[in-house]
Amino acid sequence: MRKITVVSILTLTAFLFAGCAGVMTFRNPNKSKEAKIAGGAKAVQPVKFEDFENGTLVGSYGYANTAGGANVKYAIGDPSADKAHGGQYCAVASYNTGTNSDWGCGFGSASSYASGGYFDAGGRDHITFWANVPENVTFYVFINEASANGADGEFWNGPSITGSGKWVEYSVPFDELFKNIYSGSQMGNNAFDPQGIGVVGFQIGGNQGKDKFMVDDIWFK
């Protein structure tokens, strides 16, 4: 659970399906998803949250369970050492998850393609991203709403994901997000508002060693 001060993580149920094509999708089998295009409705085009090709991170930050010895640094990768999934640049978190198994560290940033302090992904129903995470390291994606464009500042966490040691594309439907009851607004509408996104980030579980977490090409579709 994302929180700057030390807290225990709310246990999340993971739904993991790995394919040879390198795409992993997380979905609740007890929930059906209606097609977004029906009766001749116009298709909603994907929107790019970040590809890091501007060579900078906007509003980036990291947090860690310092009581357990964890730390993290989130920055644009060095193209000569950190091969991106696409283009020249990716983002890299150099992390140490410490010795406390409750939680380790997290990091996030806003979008360089945002306008007015928020990113508009209205009409989309899932987030996709490419990540290169050490094999068997567990993490989750989080999406924090802005307090703008009809969004009310709630924070949302995805299900647990396990790294594969190579670049993999992950897809997380919005109906698999869980509201963060420790951080973000607790006075909102208790519904994810994609039309006003502030931050996309990742949290790594504790006591999993130290290494690099690489991320690239974050889209809402």
CATH number, domain of 165, equals 2.60.120.430
The mean pLDDT of the chain is 86
């040879």: which residue's tokens? 20
> Based on the structure, what is the number of domains in the chain?
1
Hey, what are 201's tokens?
Answer: 């980030």
């790019």: which residue's tokens? 48
Give the other-Cβ count within 10 Å of 110's Cβ.
Answer: 23
Has residue 33 been placed in a domain? no
DSSP, res 157:
E
Residue 42 pLDDT grade (very low, low, confident, very high; cuts 50, 70, 90): low
Looking at the predicted structure, is the pLDDT value of residue 127 above 80? yes
Looking at the predicted structure, is the pLDDT value of residue 4 above 70? no
Residue 1 pLDDT grade (very low, low, confident, very high; cuts 50, 70, 90): very low
CA-CA distance, 114 to 117, in Å (whole number)? 6
Nearest to 192 by CA among 139, 109, 123: 123
Query: Where does the chain show beta strands of DSSP type E?
Result: 17-18, 23-25, 47-50, 58-64, 71-76, 91-96, 105-110, 126-132, 138-145, 154-157, 161-162, 167-173, 178-184, 197-204, 210-220
Which residue range is the domain that position 82 belongs to?
A: 46-220
Contact 21, 189 (CB under 8 A): no
DSSP, res 69:
T
Residue 43 pLDDT grade (very low, low, confident, very high; cuts 50, 70, 90): confident
Hey, what are 220's tokens?
Answer: 């809402």
Has residue 16 been placed in a domain? no
Residue 41 pLDDT grade (very low, low, confident, very high; cuts 50, 70, 90): low
Residue 6 pLDDT grade (very low, low, confident, very high; cuts 50, 70, 90): very low
Contact 167, 22 (CB under 8 A): yes
Has residue 168 been placed in a domain? yes
Has residue 31 been placed in a domain? no
How far from chain centre, in Å, is Cα 203? 8
Has residue 2 been placed in a domain? no
Has residue 1 been placed in a domain? no
**pTM of the model as a whole:** 0.83
Give the pairing type, strands 167-173 and 23-25.
Answer: parallel
Q: Is residue 182 exposed (0-12), middle (13-18) or buried (19+ Cβ within 10 Å)?
A: middle
Per-residue confidence (pLDDT) for residue 8, from 0 to 100: 36
Has residue 19 been placed in a domain? no
Half-sphere exposure of 170 (CA within 13 A, CB side): 28
Contact 98, 65 (CB under 8 A): yes
Has residue 24 been placed in a domain? no
